[in-house]
Each structure stands twice: as C-alpha cells, then as structure tokens.
Amino acid sequence: MTASSETRGLAVVTGASTGMGAATARELARRGFHVLAGVRRDSDGAPLRAAGVEPVILDITDPDHIAALAARVERDPRPLRALVNNAGIPGAGPVEVTPLSQWRRIFEVNLFGHVAVTQALLPALLRGRGRVVNITSLNGKVSMAGYGPYASSKFAMEAVSDALRNELAPHGVQVVVVEPGGVKTEMSRAGIAALGRLDDGMTPEQNARYGALMQAIPSHVAAFTRAGVTAEVAAKTIAKAVTDRRPRTRYTVGAAAALLVRASRILPDRMLDRMTTSDLRRHYPAATRSRTTSAHTA
C-alpha cells in the first residue's frame, strides 16, 4: 500500500460506535482515508462526523445492513483499501453454565458477522488490492477458566484469518490480525453486567463449582482493563497494520498481549495453565484461594 493510495482510498471500520473502533476510524481519517464507520445508532455518528468520518448504520449480523454497506462501497469511485473487522461483544462464563443461546450470539457477532462482511466486500477489496485487518484478542491465543465463550470465538477468528490470508495472497489482498490485550473501553463493563445475569441462573451445584470463579472474573477483567492501553494507542497499532508497506501477519497491542502470546508459543500447556490460573487466583475470594492452589498443584 503506497502513501498516495492512503489519500484517495476507502476504509471500512466495523464496531465504530465507541472504543477502539471509533478511535481507529478517527486515526485512519487523520491519515487520509475516507472512512466508512459502522455504528449502531445515528447519535453514535455525530462525534465521528466532526472528525471527518462518514458513519453508516451497521449491525454485522443484519444482512440488509451488510448489503447497504456493500452498495455504498460499490457506488464510490475510490478504491476500497482496507476493511477493519473490529465489531465484537464480550462473553465470559464457565462452559457448563453458559446457555447455548449465548454461545450462538457471541459467535454470530464475533465470527459469522465478520465473515459475512468480508464476503460482501471482497469483490471491492480485490479490485482495490486492499487489506483485511481482523481484530481478534489475546484471548484468541490464550484461554483460561471463565473465558471460554469469548476466547472460542476469537480462536475461530484467528483460524479464519489464517485461511483467508493464504487464499487471498495470490490475488493481492493481504490479511492481517491485530491481537489486543487490555484496552480501556466500555466493553468490559457490558461483559460484567452479562456475567451477573448468568450467575443468577446457576443451580446450587453449579454455584458450588463455579461461585468463586464467578466472583473473581469481574475483578480480573477490571484489573486487566485498568492496566491496559487507551483506545487511541490501540488505534495507532491498527492503523499501522492497515498502512505498513510490508505488514506482519500479526500485531499485538499492549505488554500483556505480547508476553502471553509469546508464552503460548513456547510453554507447555500445563505451565501456561499454571501461569494464567495464578493470575486469576489473585482475584478469588480469600477463603477459596488456598483450596484452588492445592487443586492446581496436586
């Protein structure tokens, strides 16, 4: 991607109402792209318009919205240079107690919606020799107790990205993954609220198994978010993935993501389990910490 193409091309960013998506839309507009930013409501678009971004109403699970976006891209004489698949929802909870309806919703947004948008925009990306940038997560490489539903959807998006990268490389379209760790956005707050509803529906037996874990997850998420980078810092890495002349296949965002992604490549599974469990255990209620320690060292 040349510098001149940055000043005349289109970029699509999904999930741009707030957080990383909004920051990425603004950063790409600052770098000269005409950005179509997917937002949930008209009111979400006002701050983006002020930054020179064109908001479009987009729910990536709605076929009509996706068709309208594709039609908007087709009408534009400028080439489509980048698709940033950023939209996503949280999904914490033990595997046993998370309802299948919630699993399906998480995968609809975090996986199938991105596939649908990519399929719809690929003809334009191929013509423009553009780039697909998929925002996955540290949890797309490292999962742990209580994060199974969300991590599963991100692992799946990593696999889709690998397949797509190899399929499109001969045709001039590059596929890049960005793996954020903690980022200071509102997404964690929504996930904690959903976890509370899940907790209310557990049976006494499930509560005996997972009650301490359910208490630990909100504290763990909050601490991880507080230690994370700002959305603006994350957006600069995403923009780098869009504009680097010879991009890496993967970029991490934040020190925690860099460390744990690297650890996942070299450590045995049991050692990685002990590392992630130890980090999570610090957020357990005090009375259960010693029992958890004994169980994982037996």
pLDDT in tens, 214-231: 999 989 988 888 888 999
Q: What is the pLDDT of residue 5?
A: 40
- Packed helices 269-281 and 286-297: angle between N→C axes, nearest 10 degrees: 170
Mean pLDDT, residues 9-24? 97
* More confident: 270 or 293: 270
Q: In this model, does residue 65 exceed pLDDT 90?
A: yes
Catalytic residues: 150
Report residue 209's pLDDT band, with 50, 70 and 90 as the boundaries: very high
Query: Per residue in 117-144, is it b (16+ CB within 10 Å) or e — as a string?
Result: bbebbbebbeebebbbbbbbbbbbbbbb
Radius of gyration of the chain (CA): 20
CA angle 32, 127, 68 (to 5 degrees): 75
pLDDT digits (tens, 9 = 90+) for 76-90: 999 999 999 999 999
- Is the pLDDT score of 213 beyond 80? yes
Q: How much of the chain exceeds pLDDT 70, in percent?
A: 92
Count CB neighbours of 246 within 10 A: 6
Which domains, from first to last, does the chain contain? Answer: 3-269 (3.40.50.720)
Label the pairing between strands 174-180 and 183-184.
unpaired
How confident is the model over 103-161, as pLDDT tens digits? Answer: 999 999 999 999 999 999 999 999 999 999 999 999 999 999 999 999 999 999 999 99
pLDDT tops 70 at residue 74: yes
User: Average pLDDT, whole number, for the chain?
Assistant: 91
pLDDT digits (tens, 9 = 90+) for 241-291: 999 999 999 999 988 899 999 999 999 999 999 999 999 999 998 756 555
The predicted pLDDT at position 3 comes to: 40
> From CA 292, how far away is CA 286, in angstroms rounded?
10
State yes or no: pLDDT of 99 exceeds 70.
yes
How confident is residue 195, by pLDDT bands cut at 50, 70 and 90? confident
pTM score, whole prediction: 0.90
- The DSSP line for 168-227 is HGGGT-EEEEEEE--EESTHHHHHHHHHHHHHHT--HHHHHHHHHHHHHHHHHHHHHHHT
| H-run or E-run covering 57 | strand 54-57
Residue with tokens 């399906």: 104
pLDDT of residue 2: 40
Per-residue pLDDT averaged across 30-51, rounded?
96
